Structure formats: C-alpha cells, structure tokens
Amino acid sequence: MAIATRLTQRLGIAHPILSAPMAFAAGGALAAAVSNAGGLGFIGGGYGDEPWLETQFRAAGNASVGCGFITWSMAQQPHLLDAALAHKPRAIFLSFADPTPYVAKIKDAGVLAIQQVQTRRDAEIAIACGCDIIVAQGAEAGGHGEKRATMTLVPEIADLIAQRAPATLLCAAGGVADGRGLAAALMLGADGAVVGSRLWASSEALVHANLHAAALAATGDDTVRQTVTDIARGYDWPERYTIRVVRNAYVDAWLGREHAMRDAGQPERDRYAAGVSAANPAIAAAIAGEAAGLIHAIEPAGVIVAKMVAEAEGLLRRGPKIAGR
Ligand SMILES: Cc1cc2nc3c(=O)[nH]c(=O)nc-3n(C[C@H](O)[C@H](O)[C@H](O)COP(=O)(O)O)c2cc1C
C-alpha cells in the first residue's frame, strides 16, 4: 500500500515526503535516511559553506538526495550552486529570494528546481521562471518564514498552479509532523509535504541533545517568530522574514528590545556564540516550529517517515465519518 501522487510519480519515490533543507541540521546522514525510507532527503546548504557541503554530500553516500540554499546568502557566493550541481543532486531547493537568476542553470543540469514561497506573489514569480516544484510554506513552520498560514496558502497556490502552470508540482510546508498533517496537505491540493521540525527531531539530525530536549519539552504555544536569533548570530536577513524558534530565556530577554540588542553589538553576539558552543538551551535556539507540540520522541528518520505514511494512509482510506454512509 502506498500513497501515489504526482510527486511520487514524477520523482520515482515511494512516499510524498521531502525533508526540509535545514541549515546546519540537515546533513548527508539525515538526507540519505529520508531518501532510503522512500522520500527525498535534502542537505541543508543554508548560508553556504563549501567544505561543510562536500562533507555532507560524502556522508550521503550513494543515496539520491537534493540540496537546498538560502538564496540571498548563496547569491553572495554563487559558485556554491556549481559545487552542489557537481554532485548531481536530484533537486535544488531554493528559498528566501527570487530564484529567477538560478533556475535555468539548475534545469539545464538536468536537476529539478524547487522554490519555497511564503506568498501568492512569490508563487507567481516561481511559476514565471519555470520552477518544477513550488513549496507553499505557512507561518507555523520552524525556521525562517513569513505570515501566511499553511491552511489557506496551500489551496490558494494550488488554484493558481491549476490555472497558470498545471504541470508544476506543489508541496505544503509548515506544521506537517505526523500522518494527520500529511493527509491534510494532500487534501488541501498539495502533491506532497516538506517536513522540517519533525525531522530536525530525529537521531540523524545534526542537533545537540540539549536542544532536542528543549523542543521535546515545548508545546506549539512555546514557539515564536522573531528576529532576536538572527541579530544574535549576526545574520543580515531581509526584513520580511522572521525565524520561529522555541522560546528560551535568551529570546525572552531581548524580545521587543531588538534595537538595544543591535546596539549591544559584538559582545552580545559573542555571548550568544558561547551559548551555542556550550549547547546551553537557555541561550542557544532550538529551531523548531509549532509542530513542537506534536513531537514526543527523537527517533530515526526512517521510523518517522514510515509512521507518518502509515497514519496518513489509514486516514485517507477511512476518511472522516459522513452521516448516512
Ligand atoms: C532547523 C530548521 C532550519 C531550517 N533551515 C532552512 C534553510 O536553511 N532553508 C530553507 O529553505 N528552509 C529552512 N527551514 C524551513 C523549512 O524549509 C520548512 O519550510 C519548515 O521546516 C517546514 O515547517 P515545519 O518545521 O513545521 O515542518 C528550516 C527549518 C528548520 C526547522
């Protein structure tokens, strides 16, 4: 038994699940584990670090995986795209800037071009430049994102795709952490789901146990979209994007005082970096989304994928009870 969608057919994969290319957390081992479990796994190229990227492609071994980048950052060292393409990834997953300058190069290399979007306007741009797959990301998501909710963004973009580019595939991202989320994503008109936070909480993710513990202890209420974490890391993110993390003492101390935090400058950034080095969960951010409230164990990625698919299959087969049936 399997859930067959346009995504599984086009990619030749068993399950309609892509793992999110989570910067620093999604290395080759996680990407390979997801691909070996029947989805498509992604290395989180993030801000771009060539030696790290090479190490992670090696760690993925022979598994067919993709690679993602934070586009505005990759644009500052565009050779990274060539470095990733040299590994013949299954797909390149771009996010957080206009993908137009890169799509032709990706497709000419015989690689699928994926663009994650946060608004309908962004989806129009992704369609216009010929992306193969659009990922509609709702604000529930862990990590960077914007304001729209998965529940309305996905069907709105499904309608747009049906109208303007019916061959383009659509994935939902933001809050998919179990079979209910996967089934819901398909019902909303997506061909598959991108799973971030749930796979961040896997044994293969490059995440310290202290931060895993912080996310396990959290509910969805305990996460917040904010900019404190980026100021602390010295990242110059475009203003429209915020990052959802599990609240901790550090975030609470600076939330609403971001100007003062910028004024505090390098010493404050050093304090944060020291907290990260020590994996101190009162300082370092556990980057997880509202799905934190649905995550109760750190498990191998293959187990997470298998459970998610089995639960979704059961729900889709049974469906909700309809009176008179
Ligand atoms: C720890 C973490 C790091 C992330 N890093 C990136 C990234 O580097 N590039 C990117 O496109 N998306 C990144 N994301 C967002 C994911 O692509 C995806 O939209 C999100 O995880 C989906 O929502 P979920 O966390 O509820 O599953 C990250 C998410 C998390 C949780």
CATH, residue 74? 3.20.20.70
Pair 91, 163 in one domain? yes
325 within domain boundaries: no
Q: Around Cβ 34, how many Cβ atoms within 10 Å?
A: 31
Pair 117, 202 in one domain? yes
Atom of ligand 1 nearest to the CA of 69: 9
Pair 190, 220 in one domain? no
191 within domain boundaries: yes
Across residues 9-32, what is the average pLDDT? 98
What is the C-alpha separation between 226 and 303, in angstroms, rounded?
32
Q: Is 291 in the pocket of ligand 1 (CB under 6 A)?
A: yes
| Burial profile 104-141: b = 16 or more Cβ within 10 angstroms, e = fewer | eebbebebbbbbbbbbeebbeebbebbbbbbbbbbbbb
Across residues 138-151, what is the average pLDDT? 98
Within the chain, strands assigned E span 17-19, 42-44, 66-70, 91-95, 112-117, 133-137, 143-145, 169-173, 192-195, 223-226, 242-246
Pair 39, 170 in one domain? yes
pTM of the entire predicted model:
0.98
Atom of ligand 1 nearest to the CA of 290: 26
250 within domain boundaries: yes
Scan for tokens 């070996």, then name that residue: 36
Pair 119, 239 in one domain? no
Q: Are strands 42-44 and 17-19 parallel, antiparallel or unpaired?
A: unpaired
Pair 43, 172 in one domain? yes
323 within domain boundaries: no
What does each C-alpha distance from 306 to 63, 199, 219 come to in angstroms? 18, 12, 23
Residue 190 Cα to ligand 1 middle (Å)? 18
Amino acid residing at 275: G
290 within domain boundaries: no
Structure confidence by residue, pLDDT tens digits, 243-301: 999 999 999 999 999 999 999 999 999 999 999 999 999 999 999 999 999 999 999 99
- According to the model, what pLDDT value does residue 197 have? 99
Pair 134, 213 in one domain? no
Q: Whose CA is nearest to atom 30 of ligand 1?
A: 143
Q: Is 202 in the pocket of ligand 1 (CB under 6 A)?
A: no
- According to the model, what pLDDT value does residue 1 have? 66
Scan for tokens 């584990």, then name that residue: 33
Across residues 3-24, what is the average pLDDT? 98
Q: Whose CA is nearest to atom 29 of ligand 1?
A: 143
**With 80 as the cut, is the pLDDT of residue 323 above it?**
no
Pair 172, 232 in one domain? no
Residue 231 Cα to ligand 1 middle (Å)? 18
Structure confidence by residue, pLDDT tens digits, 44-55: 999 989 999 999
- According to the model, what pLDDT value does residue 324 have? 66
Residue 222 Cα to ligand 1 middle (Å)? 17
What is the C-alpha separation between 150 and 323, in angstroms, rounded?
28
**With 80 as the cut, is the pLDDT of residue 238 above it?**
yes
Q: Is 66 in the pocket of ligand 1 (CB under 6 A)?
A: no
Q: Whose CA is nearest to atom 15 of ligand 1?
A: 143
1 within domain boundaries: no
Which domain, by its residues, includes 26? 6-206+297-318
Atom of ligand 1 nearest to the CA of 47: 8
What does each C-alpha distance from 100 to 46, 103, 107, 190, 232 come to in angstroms? 18, 6, 12, 23, 30
Pair 134, 236 in one domain? no
Q: Which of 72, 144, 180 to mutate to test the pocket of ligand 1 (most atoms within 8 A of CB)?
A: 144
283 within domain boundaries: no
Of 1, 37, 12, the C-alpha closest to 316 is 1
Atom of ligand 1 nearest to the CA of 23: 8
Q: Output the CA torsion sign for 194, 198, 199, 200.
A: positive
Pair 122, 258 in one domain? no
Pair 86, 139 in one domain? yes
Tokens coding 143: 């990590």
Domain count, the chain: 2
Q: How confident is the model at residue 322 (pLDDT cuts 50, 70, 90)?
A: confident
282 within domain boundaries: no
Q: Is 141 in the pocket of ligand 1 (CB under 6 A)?
A: yes
Q: Is 95 in the pocket of ligand 1 (CB under 6 A)?
A: yes
Pair 175, 58 in one domain? yes
